[in-house]
Structure 1
Amino acid sequence: MERVEAELFTDGGNNAVVRLPPRRFPGVLIQGDSLSIIRSEVAEVVESCDQDDLAGARETAGLLLANLDDLLARYTAALEAHKIPRPY
């Protein structure tokens, strides 16, 4: 394990916007349980598609997309608050 100093751009929470050296742009630190939930939702979409349950796949994908949109909005707000251009 290596200890490094990181810049924290948001409160910790389940997903923090941080910049690690020597990266130019911050990233998002997602807690393991939150990452597991995202993975489960993607697996649910795949399973629904395999079972030709397009309505179920669409519903789960919509929830997943909304969660990712929230995460991206938090990231974007953190960049704007610190006058950092978006990397995309």
Structure 2
Amino acid sequence: MKRVEAELFTDGGNDAVVRLPDRRFPGVLIQGDSLHILRSDLAEVVEACERGELAEARESAGLLMAGLDALLARYATALEEHGIPRPY
């Protein structure tokens, strides 16, 4: 394990925007339990597709995308507040 100092651009919640040393752009730190939930949500989409339940898959995918959109908006806002251009 290596200890480093990181820059924190948002509060330290489940999806903190941080920049590690030697990185040009910040990233999003997702806690392990939140990552597991994202993976489980995606698995629901895949399983619904495999069963041919496209309406259920579409609904689950929409919820997953809404969550990711919120995460991306939080990231973009943090960068804007600190005068950092988006990397995309």
Q: TM-score, normalised by structure 2?
A: 0.99
Separation in structure 1 between the aligned mates of residue 36 and residue 49 of structure 2, nearest angstrom: 20
Unaligned runs of 5+ in 2: none
SS in 1 for 2:12: coil
Task: Give 1:84's aligned residue.
Answer: 84
Identical amino acids, percent of aligned pairs: 76
Superposition misfits of 4+ residues, deviation over 2 angstroms: none
Match runs of 1:56-67 below 5 Å: 56-67=56-67
Q: TM-score, normalised by structure 1?
A: 0.99
Match runs of 1:21-40 below 5 Å: 21-40=21-40
How many residues are treated as equivalent by the alignment?
88
Separation in structure 1 between the aligned mates of residue 83 and residue 77 of structure 2, nearest angstrom: 10
Separation in structure 2 between the aligned mates of residue 4 and residue 74 of structure 1, nearest angstrom: 24
Shift of 1:4: 0.2
Match runs of 1:60-75 below 5 Å: 60-75=60-75
Separation in structure 1 between the aligned mates of residue 59 and residue 38 of structure 2, nearest angstrom: 14
Separation in structure 2 between the aligned mates of residue 56 and residue 40 of structure 1, nearest angstrom: 15
**Root-mean-square deviation (CA), in Å?**
0.3
